[in-house]
Amino acid sequence: EIVLTQSPATLSLSPGERATLSCRASQSVSSYLAWYQQKPGQAPRLLIYDASNRATGIPGRLSGSGSGTDFTLTISSLEPEDFAVYYCQQRSSWPYTFGQGTKLEIK
Amino acid sequence: EVQLLESGGGLIQPGGSLRLSCATSGFTFGTYAMSWVRQAPGKGLEWVSGISGSGIGDYTYYVDSVKGRFTISRDISKNTLFLQMNSLRVEDTAVYYCAKGAAALGVIDYWGQGTLVTVSS
């Protein structure tokens, strides 16, 4: 099973700042990595798939990068609606696995 | 508009069974892979089971912790996904999300609102 480790566990930033979230895989997942956002009491929402492709309706301030074992989700300028929990997920091999999440909170 | 509506959750004793349903609309149900993903209270996400879309047979897959206890299936005539859960354990307690696969296998582009399964004596 591929283990995904996200860092940091919690990120405290202010609106307008740049956020950088990391996801490291225990073995190469090529570019088969997605990012999801989850707000309290809601289902997750797809943000990025295959490392760098934005899902439909996702604003340009969100971007993904990386390949192999190291990936990054960047939010260039935080908006109030960006504060949430973010999960990475690999689809390189079954079982598909998620990282433990990074909570992005308002400083 | 894609809609996924889960039902069937509730309180069940250890060793019991439940059948979750997910009624879908807004897309060609049989074409896409479908999955169940769960989230224990206050915890992260776990991909529990999936079923392939049409064209490559009804291939099913399960995480090891539910293999032999859970069965995923679908009724294309009713646009409905199921998860039969037997021999339930306390550690199966979670919100269970029905999820639609994107064109890229292993990516989820739509999620239901979730149904809570509580396994407790």
Q: Per the structure block, which two tokens stand in for A98?
A: 């998620």
Are the beta carbons of A91 and B63 separated by less than 8 Å? Answer: no
CA A82, CA B91: separation in Å to the nearest integer?
Answer: 31
- Which chain B residues contact residue A98 at CB under 8 A? 44-47
**In chain A, what residues touch B67 (CB-CB under 8 Å)?**
none
Burial class (CB in 10 A: 0-12, 13-18, 19+), B113: middle
pLDDT tens sequence across A15-45: 999 999 999 999 999 999 999 999 999 999 9
* Closest by Cα among B38, B64, B36, B29 to B50: B36
Span B1-30, pLDDT tens digits: 999 999 999 999 999 999 999 999 999 998
Q: Which one is predicted more confidently, B53 or A70?
A: A70
> What distance in Å separates residue A6's CA from the closest CA in chain B?
12
The strand pairing partners of B46, in sequence order, are B38
CB A90 within 8 A of CB A5: no
Judge: B107–A46 Cβ closer than 8 Å, yes or no: yes
Predicted confidence at residue B53, as pLDDT, reads 81
